[in-house]
Amino acid sequence: MGKIVGIDLGTTNSVVAVIEAGKPVVIANSEGGRTTPSVISFSKDGDRLVGQMARRQAVMNPENTFYSVKRFIGRKHTELTTEAKRVSYTVRRDESGNIKVKCPRLEKDFAPEELSAMVIRKLVDEATRYLGTPVTGAVITVPAYFNDSQRQATKDAGKIAGIEVKRIINEPTAASLAYGLDRKDNQKILVFDLGGGTFDVSILEVGDGLFEVKATTGDTQLGGDDFDKVIVDWLADQFFEDQGVDLRKERQALQRLTEAAEKAKIELSTVGSTEINLPFITATADGPLHLDTTLKRSQFERICQDLLERLNIPLEKVFKDAKLSPRQIDEVVLVGGGTRIPAVQELVQKLINKTPNQSVNPDEVVAVGAAIQAGILSGEVKDVLLLDVTPLTIGVETSGGLINRLIPRNTTIPTRKADLFTTAEDNQTSVEIHIVQGERDLAENNKSLGRFKLSGLAPQPRGMAQVDVMFDLNADGILSVTATDRRTGVERRITIKGASTLDPSEVEKAIADAEKFAERDRAKKDRIEKLNRADSLVAAAERQLKDIALNYAYQISFERKKEMEKLIRNLQQAIASEDDYAMDRAQSELQEAVYELSRELYEQKALDEEDDLFGGIRESISSFANRGKDDDRDSYRDNSKEDYKETRESRKSPKQSESRSRRRPSIAVDYDDDDDEWV
């Protein structure tokens, strides 16, 4: 069985985490970062890049580098504001009114779900590399205020990425899981989540393994990106006043402004002012133009005042929905990079009158909570119960375009609600069920989730037919609707998949395209590894030749060394030309030559060691023989002349003594009494 991970699919950055030994662990990517930029780019060669490598392409390749895609997922083109469309790449409308992102490099349009799937795939691959086992499932977080369409689109993205989405969980709920997992005492927690593209605020009651969401609300079009855009506009307006050039109309200049604005926003969280320098930002007939200015924190807070006021609206609303006052909140947990802005922290502290809890990492806490939920589903985490809520009201359109609300917002999920409906016209044989989501009174002002017809009704006067409509909302916030005619028993059931901007055939096509990209990526990876292996073999062979020249030059023939050098050159030429056949052949020949040379050196070394061994033995024998003689000499010095003669004679057999006396003349020896030595 494959592993289940937790994924925080963010607007700006994404994170993946997993449960190991009962504890959540954030997985670092191959670049060494614990967060992965939610950026996708296509290089000049058409290669797909995801993460930090893609982000580096943003300035020089703006039309083929895609960021903040989460803002488009599950939405229609008509739902976008002018500000939302202001990115360095092209966002267009297709025949169905859905959003498509144009990629000139590939001459292809991508749905936001497809691009999000590429980020998910990157995270899953990193988790697989870290764990050493396949990852088959994931718990993916979404903003609490995501509607059914956006949630379904997120599930589609996971499906396109080739994994099973086990659960969709709200980001503030995931953050509360990470914050309160080990807490036994009951607490009411306010989770303030200001991410890159969305804002959510939730109130939860946490304690003794129970996590109950009391209320949640937010704004899916308010996040850190909007604070960046304010700085971009401020810089662009200043530049227009000084130079008469609108930098927002140039893709490359806009991207440089966006990056500079994000950097300035981050710096102003710790310092009072920051320098913004962008040389050669554009050029006119008079020459290049540069941007050089200073932004103070007080200026930044002033130009962002409208955004700060927008944060107040959901804050006030969530207390009203939860029927609580700010004084009843025990802890405030900040989530998302946007909460590092000092003005945002001051706003929260002023309303709640409590210092926000900063014991959790705002960038990682959501992924950690998703991993905990994954652990609950896999059985690795026990005794934890999560009770989430639906963020928006779901109902049925009735006569006159009004809404009959079946599931009010902040209803605990999963849930099932039913109501009885009738016909509006005489002799009506079918009824259309139109499901909508939102808080407005008129259906046309809310999000349409889907329509279907219940046919086969008996002709009757209006108001006589009885149709049961049941809403079944699962733990992911995905809706199924059943309509039943009580008289005939005719039933029609539908799962609201039409809420996704992709129909099933498009999803299947996207999966096939993703697999093609995966195959291409694998082929590219295999080729890179092949080139690396060949290059490593060249380096190893060159090292071996150098080693031979230093230590074994007398043992290897000149012809053998020339042959090795020739084989190395052949492989280097094959690598340079990227000729697969020539590379395989040259690599095989060089490997064989290296092996043979290594074998010969090994055998020669063994012979040398054998000679050294026997030479050592001979030396030991000689040393031992000499040592006996030395011992004799020592004994000579220790004894008197007479004793010496007696000792020598006693050691000899009669024949030995006689033969030795015949072989050599006797030696006259005198003993010096003063020096106690033999002379």
**How wide is the angle at C-alpha 365 spanned by C-alphas 360 and 368, nearest 5°?**
125
Peptide bond into 414 cis (omega under 30): yes
Give the active site residue among 171, 228, 331, 364.
171
Catalytic residue list contains 629: no
Catalytic residue list contains 70: yes
Environment class of 64 (CB within 10 Å of its CB; exposed 0-12, middle 13-18, buried 19+) = buried
What sign results for the dihedral spanned by CA atoms 532, 534, 536, 538?
Answer: negative
| 8 A C-beta contact, residue 446 and residue 384 | no
Cα distance between residue 628 and residue 605, in whole Å = 35
| 8 A C-beta contact, residue 141 and residue 489 | no
Beta bridge pairs of residue 138: 5, 165
Name residue, tokens 């590399």.
Answer: 129
Environment class of 597 (CB within 10 Å of its CB; exposed 0-12, middle 13-18, buried 19+) = buried
Cα distance between residue 113 and residue 538, in whole Å = 44
Give the active site residue among 3, 8, 122, 159.
8
DSSP 68-131: -GGGTTT-BGGG--TTTT-SSSEEEE-TTSBEEEEETTTTEEE-HHHHHHHHHHHHHHHHHHHH
In the three-class reduction of DSSP (H, G, I as helix; E, B as strand; rest coil), residue 228 is classed as: helix
Single-letter amino acid, residue 164: E
Closest CA to 296 of 357, 352, 231, 201: 231
| 8 A C-beta contact, residue 54 and residue 33 | no
Catalytic residue list contains 521: no
Catalytic residue list contains 301: no
Cα distance between residue 11 and residue 198, in whole Å = 8
Give the active site residue among 193, 331, 364, 380.
193
Closest CA to 217 of 171, 175, 274, 268: 171
Give the active site residue among 3, 70, 100, 122.
70
Residues annotated as catalytic are 8, 70, 171, 193
